Amino acid sequence: MNLIGHWIRNFPEPQKVAITEAFDSASLAKIRRAARLLEKLDPEQRGSMLDVEFVSTFNLEPVLPVLQLALDCLPSRAHLHLAPLDAIESHISQSETTPLQETLHARVVAWRVEELFPELLYPFSSGFPKQLASRADEVVARIGRVVNLHQKNSKGVPLFLSTIPLPTNFSNPLFAAQDRDGLFGSVGRLNQEVYELATRNDGVHVLDLAAWATSEGRGHTDATLDLIARQPLSSRGQVAISLFIARCLRPLIIPGRKALAVDLDNTLWGGVVGEDGIGGLKLGHEFPGNVHLRIQRELLELRKRGILLVLLSKNNETDAREAFSELSEMVVKWDDFAVRQVNWEQKHENLRSAARELGLGLDSFAFVDDSDYEREQMRQFLPEVLILNENSDPLHTLRSLWETDAFDSLTVTEEDRLRHRDYTARAARDVEAHQDDLDAFLRSLRMEATIEEIGPSNMDRALAMIGKTNQFNLTTRRHSRSQLQTMLEMPGSIALTLRLRDKFGDQGIVGLLLAIPDKRNHVTLAVDSFLVSCRALGRGVEDALWAVMVNRAHRQKVKRLEAEYLATPKNGMVASLYDRLGLRRIEQNSSSTRYHMEPVGPYPFPTWISLANKSDEQ
C-alpha cells in the first residue's frame, strides 16, 4: 500500500492533496507549500513532537525542507537540527553541554565513501592492497569511536548509524569486485561493523542507506550537484531518501499494529473450500499456489515476532478446520491464530468481538481480505482498522505484506515473541475464571511477580510499553529514551517494572511505574507513568506494583506522593484507580484529576500474588 497515503489518511483533504502533489512532483515550491498547510493544523492532528539531529559528512542542508515534510507526515511535529558539516566527532563530544540533549529523540549519523574513505575510489594511487587494508582498519575503528562518543555524551538518545552506500561514480567497476581490499569488499567490511555495533549496543540502530541506494538506483543521484555543493541527490532522490529516513524514525513515536486479521479463501489458499473442496484448493510450490504459500510464510513470520493473527472467514468451521489438517503444504496452523472467527456473521462485527477477546483497541488491527465488499465494509464501519491490500490479486496481497510499515519496529523483545503464547494462555485463564469468587480464582493462578529497576536489560521493553500502552495507562505520557534516562538519573526516583509468572507460564514484563522527585521539595514524589499491559488486565498486578513503589518511597523517607489521571478516549477503565488505591482527590476537571497521599506507607501487598523479591513486601 502507499505509505504516504497511510500516514496522512487522517489529514484534511487540502493537506492530503498538497502533500501528494509535492512528493509526486519533487518541486521545492510545492514541498514548502504543503509544509505551510500542515502548520495550520491543530497540534493534536499534527502528532507528537519529534526532535532529530543530523550529523553527516555530506551536505544535507538542501534536503532539510523535504525531510521536514516527510517527518511531518508521520504524523509528527518535527524539529530538525543540522550539525556543522563533516564535524562528527567534535560535535558529538560537545553535545552533552547543549540544552538540545534534554529533548532530542534521535541523532542520525550519515556518511559516505567519498568523505569517509576516499582512497577506495583510487585504489592503485593509495597503495592497494596493503595500505588500503590498513586504512580500512582505521575507518572501522573510527566508526566504533563515534558510537562510544555518542553513548558517553548523549544521555541515552537513540543513535541511527548509517551504512555506507557504494559510490555511484567511479572507474573500473569490474576490478572493484575482485579483491576483498577493493572498493566493494572494503565497503562491505565497514557496513558489517555498523551492523555489529547495532547488535552489541542498546539504543544504536542501523539507517541502511546502502540498502536504500541499492533499491533506488543510479537515477536518484546528481554528479553536478555533488561536485558543486557536496549534495549528491537529485530532486527525486531527496524525496526518496527523506521518506526512507522518515520510515526508519517512525517507530520512535508511532507504535506498530499489534494484530493482523486475515481472510481464508483466496488468501491463505487459492479457491473456496466450501465450493472447490480441499482437492480443488491451490497451495504449493508452483504458481499460483506458491503466492499463497508465500503469504502464509509472511504471516507465520509476523506471528513468530509477536504480531497476533486473527482468522476472519465466512465459512463452515468444520470445512476450515479440515483444510488446515488435510492440506500438507499449510505453513500456518489452526493454533497460530490467537482468535478464530469462522462463521457467517459480518466480519466487522467479528473483528470487534476479537478485539474485545484480546483486550485490544481497534486501532491495533490491520486487515487483509480478497473481497472488495469486505474491505469496503470494514473501512466504513471500523475506520480505525488499517486495510493493507487494495484489490483481490493474491500477488498484490503478498506485496502489501512486503511493503507495509504497519508492523515496523526497531527492536523485538522476548515479551514480543511470546505474545501469541501469552494470549493463548489468557484464553485458558478466562475459561477457568471463577466469577463467583474472584479472589479464589486469582490465587488459583499461582502468580509470582518479580519487581526490577528499569535499566539496560529492560530499557527496550520499558520504552515499548510507554510508547504503546493505551488502556491501562494513567497519564499516557510518551517518553523518548533520552527523556526516560534523564528521569532515571534523578536522585530519589523510583522506576520499576513488573515481570509476571503464573501456572500457565512466563508473561514477561507486563507493568511499569515511574515516580520522580519534586525539584522544589525532595520529600515529595510524583507519579509520572503507571501502566499495565492489556494482556495482564484483571489480575491485580497494578496492586502489587503500587505496593512495592509506596513501600520503597516510605523507606526513602518520602512524605507525600502526588499522582494524576489524564483522561484519554481509551483509558477510561482506570479513571477511578487512584480512588481505589486510597489516594485523596485534590483537583478535578474534565480532562484530569489530581491526587495525593500523605503520609506515605507502609502499604499492604496483595495476597493473591507472591513476590520474588521478598524485601519489597513491606
| Structure confidence at residue 219 (pLDDT) | 80
In percent, the amount of the chain with pLDDT more than 70 equals 96
Place of cell 468444520: 318
Question: Does residue 437 carry a pLDDT above 90?
Answer: no
**Residue 617 confidence (pLDDT):** 55
Tally of CB atoms within 10 A around 429: 17
- Could you please report the per-residue DSSP string of 175-194? HHTSSTTSHHHHHHHHHHHH
Q: Domain 259-403 falls in which CATH fold?
A: Rossmann fold (3.40.50)
Write down the pLDDT at residue 428.
Answer: 56
Rounded to an integer, what distance in angstroms lies between the CA atom of residue 154 and that of residue 104?
A: 9
Query: What pLDDT is attached to residue 434?
Result: 43
Distance of CA 137 to the CA centre of its chain: 34
Q: Do 144 and 193 form a contact (C-beta atoms < 8 A)?
A: yes
Task: Evaluate if residue 210 carries a pLDDT over 90.
Answer: yes
Question: Residue 521: is its pLDDT beyond 80?
Answer: no
Q: How far apart are CA 448 and CA 144, in angstroms?
A: 41
Query: Per residue in 525-563, is it b (16+ CB within 10 Å) or e — as a string?
Result: bbbbbbbbbbbbbbbbbbbbbbbbbbbbbbebebebbbb
Q: Are 309 and 259 in contact (CB under 8 A)?
A: yes
Residue 284 — left, alpha, or beta (φ > 0 → left; ψ -120 to 50 → alpha)? left
Long-range contact pairs involving 345-350 (C-beta distance under 8 Å, separation at least 24): 346/377, 346/381, 347/261, 347/312, 347/314, 347/374, 347/377, 347/378, 348/377, 348/378, 348/381, 348/382, 350/312
Give Dmax (Cα) for the chain. Answer: 84
Region label for 508, one of left (φ > 0), alpha (ψ between -120 and 50) or beta (otherwise): left
| Amino acid symbol at 612 | A
pLDDT, tens digit (0-9, with 9 covering 90-100), for 384-397: 999 999 999 999 99
Q: Average pLDDT, stretch 571-575? A: 90
Mean pLDDT value of segment 572-600? 93
Query: Over 70: is that where the pLDDT of 433 sits?
Result: no
Inform me whether the pLDDT recorded for 438 exceeds 80.
no
Mean pLDDT for 92-102 is 77
C-alpha cell at position 191:
557496513
Helix (H, G, I), strand (E, B) or coil at 280: helix
What confidence score (pLDDT) does residue 615 get? 60
Look at domain 45-251 and name its CATH class: alpha beta
d(CA 324, CA 339): 15
State residue 519's pLDDT score. 79
Question: pLDDT > 90: what percent of the chain?
Answer: 77
pLDDT at 228 over 50: yes
Q: Quick check: helix, strand or coil at residue 217?
A: coil
How does DSSP assign 482-527, residue by residue?
A: HHHHHHHTSTT-EEEEEEEEETTEEEEEEEEEEEEE-SS-TTEEEE
Mean pLDDT of 433-447: 70
Pairwise CA distance, residues 7 & 219, whole Å: 26
Band of pLDDT at residue 110, cut at 50, 70 and 90: very high
**Tens of pLDDT along 319-333?**
999 999 999 999 999
As a whole number of angstroms, the distance between CA 481 and CA 315 comes to 46
Higher pLDDT, 445 or 292: 292
Sheet-wide strand order for 337-343? 337-343, 308-314, 259-262, 365-368, 386-387
Residue 480 CB partners (closer than 8 Å, separation 6+): 104, 105, 106, 157, 158, 252
pLDDT, residue 427, reads: 57
Q: Is the pLDDT of residue 597 over 60?
A: yes
Per residue in 355-390, pLDDT tens? Answer: 998 888 999 999 999 999 899 999 999 999 999 999
- Residue ranges of alpha helices (H) inside 511-583 are 541-555, 577-580
The predicted model scores a pTM of: 0.81
Tell me the average pLDDT across 305-322.
94
**pLDDT, tens digit, 9 for 90 and up, residues 64-92:** 999 999 999 999 999 999 999 989 999 99
Q: 247: which residues sit within 8 A by CB, 6+ positions away?
A: 3, 405, 408
On whether the CB atoms of residues 512 and 497 are closer than 8 A, the answer is: yes
> Rounded to an integer, what distance in angstroms lies between the CA atom of residue 565 and that of residue 592?
5
In a 13 Å sphere around the CA of 341, the CA atoms on its Cβ side amount to 21
- pLDDT-derived band at 96 (thresholds 50, 70, 90) equals confident
Dist CA 92 CA 150 (whole Å): 6
Rg (the chain; Cα; Å): 27
Q: What is the pLDDT of residue 618?
A: 54
Question: Do the domains spanning 45-251 and 437-616 agree at the CATH topology level?
Answer: no
Given strand 560-566, what is the order of strands in its sheet? Answer: 584-588, 592-597, 560-566, 524-532, 505-517, 494-502, 447-453, 609-611
Question: Could you tell me the sign of the dihedral formed by the alpha carbons of 8, 13, 17, 18, in that order?
Answer: negative
What's the pLDDT tens digit per position in 18-54? 999 999 999 999 999 999 999 999 998 999 999 999 9
Tens-digit pLDDT profile for residues 547-568: 999 999 999 999 999 999 999 9
**Cell numbers found for residue 330:** 499449510
- Helix axis angle, 394-403 relative to 289-304, nearest 10°? 30
Q: Which of 260, 259, 284 is nearest to 270 (CA)?
A: 284
Task: Please say if the pLDDT value at position 431 is more than 50.
Answer: no
Q: What is the pLDDT of residues 401-413, one digit of tens each?
A: 999 999 999 988 8
**Residue 484 and residue 506 in contact, taking contact as beta carbons nearer than 8 Å:** no
Taking the domains of the chain in order of start, what are their residue ranges? 45-251, 259-403, 437-616
d(CA 208, CA 410): 12
Report the pLDDT value the prediction gives residue 537, as an integer from 0 to 100.
78
Please tell me the CATH code under which domain 437-616 is placed: 3.40.630.30
Residues 6+ apart with CB under 8 A from 152: 96
Q: Is the pLDDT score of 432 beyond 70?
A: no
- Which tens digits make up the pLDDT trace of 163-172? 999 999 999 9
Query: Where does 26-63 have alpha helices with state H?
Result: 28-39, 43-46
The end-to-end CA distance of the chain, in Å, is: 54
